[in-house]
Amino acid sequence: MQASSTLFEDSTTDIHVVRRDGSTTPLEINKIRTVVNWACCGLSANSIALEAHLTTRLRPGITTREIQDNLIRCALDLCSPEEPDWRYVAGRLHIWSLWKEITVSRGYQYGYYARTVQTKVLSEQYDRRILIYTDAELEIANTWINPDSDADYDYAGAVLLTKRYLLANELPQEAFLTCALLIASVETPENRLTWAKQFYEALANRQISLATPILANLRIPNGSLASCFITAMDDNLESIFDGIHDAARISKNGGGVGVNLSRIRATGSWVMGKANSSGGVVPWIKLLNDTAIAVNQGGRRAGAVTVSLDVWHLDLPEFLEMQTENGDGRRKAYDVFPQLVVSDEFMRRVAADEEWTLVDPYEVQTRLGIELALLWGEEFEKAYLQIEASLESKITLYKRVNARLLLKQVMRTQLETGMPYLWFKDTANRANPNQHEGYIPGGNLCQESWSNVKPGEEAHTCNLVSINLANLEDEKRAEICQIAVRILDNTIELTSPPFAASATHNAKYRTIGVGCMGLADWLAKRHLTYTHLQEISNLFEDIGYYCTSASMFLAKERGAYPAFVGSEWSKGHLIGAKPVEWFLQHASLPERFAKLSQDIKQHGIRNSHITAIAPNTSSSLVQGCTASVLPVYSKFFYEKWAKGSVPIAPPYIRDNLWFYVENKTLDQKKVVRAIATIQQWIDTGISMELLFNLNAGVYFPDEPERSLTAVDIFETLMLAWELGWGLPKNKLINKNQESNFKQ
């Protein structure tokens, strides 16, 4: 050890460095060593190895910022499946650099929170509503901050946190504390600080993750906090262009939007009485596509729009070809996310290998008086049979196809483009607690959140958080669920909806989405896998119960959501609009659900939708856990970023290596069954993807030459529908894609 230290010191004689304030000073190895030792403390990372890698990178006139960047790169170079802790060393070094930058910029780090608030309010970086707290209260809040919490991030998490979420001259714990105080600002004066402390500790300890719009926009004046929006277009120019305008406003504020176009007349339909005049849905999708490009999410990331179309629409074949390489480039849209709205009747005909009819909604409405897009379940089936009985006599714009061949065409498109999403309309609407007020036309961008939509009147709007199962002990489960629900209900009072239909929906339904991330970590820490369905069910039964109960208690305190009367909740139905008898039969603790049903009938419920599991791919990196409830893609891989490759590894890989089942080699039917088990206890949806590996021998170790076939994928999709949940998208790995997808 002494020899290495001496070599390091001898090689840096007479080197002067440039500090962050522009002054020069002789290089002091002990200062570097102090930082390196701090970054490696408590980790299985040898600080001397990091020093040794740095020696060749030092030169006269080097800046302290360059030294720090070189240390980070050295740590990343040392990271491997055998030594994954180096990514935490790199994360700490990145945070250290942030601390130093802010010290130079504003003259202090932590310890002066009230001063920070005053400065940022004056510069209009912070919302003035933070001034509801007195200086004395801000000083109390200042004592809650533990700077050591900043050292918990690996490199990917630290970079995402600082680059995407922090404001200028802001430290991580200041951001979390300000969010907590603002969220608690709607509480009663005597309870504000109590709740603020609980909110802050849940955020700082990474037990709850705020969705990107909340964490990014809550602190700034007039920020929109909702993550998920769904709009629908009527078949007229005013509605279409209003929808495009709404999508732009949503994107500006950092939200993702789903736009349903199923009511718009098909290609070749009538316009102003003239036959064969309509250009169909694709030209309008192209406008949405260009809007997503032009209006990015506050400069943080590209705009994100999913466009949905019902499976009976006559433009479906062109919709499926919209992102393929062949065909007319003028009718392509590569920057939106196509979503296919699938009915049970279609899936039944797929199973029976029967015919399916594609029709024009305008002709169906004008000649039969049927608004097909509004219908689902038995009403849709009855209307659809009436339409098919009217072919030729009244309906002239139609196309007959084989249902199974059509699904196979969808699968081929998914193989080529990864799209479209599949969203099961009847499944979602059966679980809709607000059937008395309307219907759900399609899913949101990430396919986990939805509720009633009326063009020009109500646009689905939902705020999200996620519970980090990796950092959550069992005894804290009830408390964290209660905190998560309260955080989201409070944000409804704080948000600035981007347009009128969003504000109407927010006030009427008070839709929220408590999700989860880190299930793979939770399982691995307990030496469980995705085949342990009973343990998974028990976990999410608890989460479903505690979150629903928390919303009921909020209703006792604050009142039920305005559309409660007549809802499925008001009838005593619970999660997913299921009758209480289902819970008495399937729950491990049925008595608590029986009481909850009675309590909700008596007191109401605060939020019409409560739980929804988002993909949280980026925020899970900040949280230091695996994304959502899916298996981890790989135990160790590199993700390509703008400035190089970044190592990604599950946080508990060293102690639980064999219980991290890699999704890239996992039979996806096992994933389907696990997600279906979770879905029983989630009242909205679960964003997920199926990942099929097409390399030979992956799923069939006893048959090394055998690879997955189209039949295997088809059977997996059918199983997903049969088990009753909606599918977003598929990813497929073949021999050529494996090296490029993720290493």
Q: Which of 718, 680, 705, 643 is nearest to 159 (CA)?
A: 643
Whether the Cβ atoms of residue 224 and residue 214 lie closer than 8 Å to each other: no
Please give the torsion angle defined by the CA atoms of residues 160, 163, 168 and 170, in that order, rounded to the nearest 10 degrees.
Answer: 20
Q: Residue 212: CA atoms inside 13 Å, Cβ hemisphere, count?
A: 23
* SS3 of residue 350 by DSSP: helix
Read off the pLDDT of each residue in 276-285 and give the average, rounded to a whole number.
95
Read off the pLDDT of each residue in 499-519 and give the average, rounded to a whole number.
97
Whether the Cβ atoms of residue 268 and residue 278 lie closer than 8 Å to each other: yes
Provide the pLDDT for residue 4: 46
Q: Is the pLDDT of residue 6 over 90?
A: no
Q: Which residues lie closer than 8 Å to 620 by C-beta, 6 or more apart?
A: 209, 517, 518, 626, 627, 628
pLDDT digits (tens, 9 = 90+) for 636-657: 888 888 667 889 998 887 778 7
Read off the pLDDT of each residue in 302-325 and give the average, rounded to a whole number.
94
Q: Is the pLDDT of residue 32 over 60?
A: yes
Catalytically active residues are 444, 446, 448
pLDDT band at 60 (very low <50, low <70, confident <90, very high): confident
Read off the pLDDT of each residue in 32-54 and give the average, rounded to a whole number.
91
Q: Which residues lie closer than 8 Å to 196 by C-beta, 6 or more apart?
A: 141, 180, 181, 183, 184, 187
pLDDT digits (tens, 9 = 90+) for 316-368: 999 999 999 888 888 999 999 999 999 999 999 999 999 999 999 999 999 99
Read off the pLDDT of each residue in 394-422 and give the average, rounded to a whole number.
95
Cross-strand bridge partners of residue 178: none
Q: Fill in the amino acid letter for 734.
A: N
Task: Count other C-beta atoms under 10 Å from residue 42's C-beta.
Answer: 9
**Token pair for 287:** 């406008």
Whether the Cβ atoms of residue 461 and residue 378 lie closer than 8 Å to each other: no
Task: Count other C-beta atoms under 10 Å from residue 352's C-beta.
Answer: 10
For the chain, give the percent of residues with pLDDT over 90: 79
Residue with the larger pLDDT of the pair 601 and 16: 601
The reply to whether 228-427 and 449-741 are identical in fold is: yes
* SS3 of residue 85 by DSSP: coil
* Distance (Å) of CA 654 to CA 39, 109, 489, 628, 657: 19, 34, 38, 21, 6
pLDDT band at 299 (very low <50, low <70, confident <90, very high): low
pLDDT digits (tens, 9 = 90+) for 447-490: 999 999 999 999 999 999 999 999 999 999 999 999 999 999 99
pLDDT digits (tens, 9 = 90+) for 180-222: 999 999 999 999 999 999 999 999 999 999 999 999 999 999 8
**Token pair for 498:** 């981007």
Q: Which residues lie closer than 8 Å to 107 by C-beta, 6 or more apart?
A: none
Provide the pLDDT for residue 330: 87
Specify the CATH architecture of the domain 228-427: Alpha-Beta Barrel (3.20)
* SS3 of residue 57 by DSSP: helix
Residue with the larger pLDDT of the pair 404 and 700: 404
pLDDT digits (tens, 9 = 90+) for 664-686: 999 999 999 999 999 999 999 99
Whether the Cβ atoms of residue 292 and residue 254 lie closer than 8 Å to each other: no
Rounded CA-CA distance 428/299 in Å is: 33
Provide the pLDDT for residue 167: 96
Average pLDDT value over all residues in the chain:
92
pLDDT digits (tens, 9 = 90+) for 129-147: 999 999 999 999 999 999 9
- Judged on CB neighbours under 10 Å (0-12, 13-18, 19+), 382 is exposed
Provide the pLDDT for residue 297: 62
Provide the pLDDT for residue 108: 95
* Distance (Å) of CA 46 to CA 5, 6, 279, 729: 13, 17, 65, 42
Whether the Cβ atoms of residue 485 and residue 561 lie closer than 8 Å to each other: no
* Distance (Å) of CA 260 to CA 98, 228, 427: 43, 14, 17
Q: Which uninterrupted H or E stretch holds 461? A: strand 460-468
Q: Is the pLDDT of residue 11 over 70?
A: no
pLDDT band at 660 (very low <50, low <70, confident <90, very high): confident
Task: Count other C-beta atoms under 10 Å from residue 586's C-beta.
Answer: 14
**Region of poorest pLDDT, from 4-8, 102-106, 357-361, 619-623:** 4-8
Q: Is the pLDDT of residue 51 over 90?
A: no
Tell me, rounded to whole angstroms, the distance of Cα 144 from its chain centroid: 29
Q: Is the pLDDT of residue 563 over 50?
A: yes
Q: Which uninterrupted H or E stretch holds 592? A: helix 590-603
Q: Is the pLDDT of residue 537 over 70?
A: yes
Read off the pLDDT of each residue in 599-612 and give the average, rounded to a whole number.
98
pLDDT band at 301 (very low <50, low <70, confident <90, very high): low
Rounded CA-CA distance 176/375 in Å is: 44
pLDDT digits (tens, 9 = 90+) for 222-274: 888 998 999 999 999 999 999 999 999 998 887 899 999 999 999 999 999 99
Rounded CA-CA distance 51/348 in Å is: 65
Provide the pLDDT for residue 729: 47
* Distance (Å) of CA 372 to CA 74, 358, 375, 451: 61, 12, 6, 18
Q: Which uninterrupted H or E stretch holds 400? A: strand 398-402
Cis peptide bond N-terminal to 147, omega within 30: no
Q: Please, what sign has the CA dihedral across residues 33, 36, 42, 46? A: negative
Provide the pLDDT for residue 743: 22
Note the CATH number of domain 449-741.
3.20.70.20
Q: Is the pLDDT of residue 443 over 50?
A: yes
* SS3 of residue 646 by DSSP: strand
pLDDT band at 13 (very low <50, low <70, confident <90, very high): low
For every residue of 212-245, which 3-state class applies, written as one string?
Answer: HHHHHHCCCCCCCCCCEEEEECCCCHHHHHHHHH
* CA geometry: angle 676, 679, 684, nearest 5 deg: 140
pLDDT band at 532 (very low <50, low <70, confident <90, very high): very high
Whether the Cβ atoms of residue 480 and residue 208 lie closer than 8 Å to each other: yes
Residue with the larger pLDDT of the pair 590 and 18: 590
Read off the pLDDT of each residue in 94-115 and give the average, rounded to a whole number.
96
Q: What is the pTM of this model?
A: 0.93
Provide the pLDDT for residue 62: 86
Provide the pLDDT for residue 734: 47
Enumerate the domain spans of the chain.
Answer: 1-109, 228-427, 449-741
- Judged on CB neighbours under 10 Å (0-12, 13-18, 19+), 400 is exposed
Read off the pLDDT of each residue in 92-116 and give the average, rounded to a whole number.
96
Q: Is the pLDDT of residue 25 over 60?
A: yes
Rounded CA-CA distance 714/725 in Å is: 16
Q: Which of 550, 507, 616 is nearest to 214 (CA)?
A: 616
Whether the Cβ atoms of residue 667 and residue 537 lie closer than 8 Å to each other: no
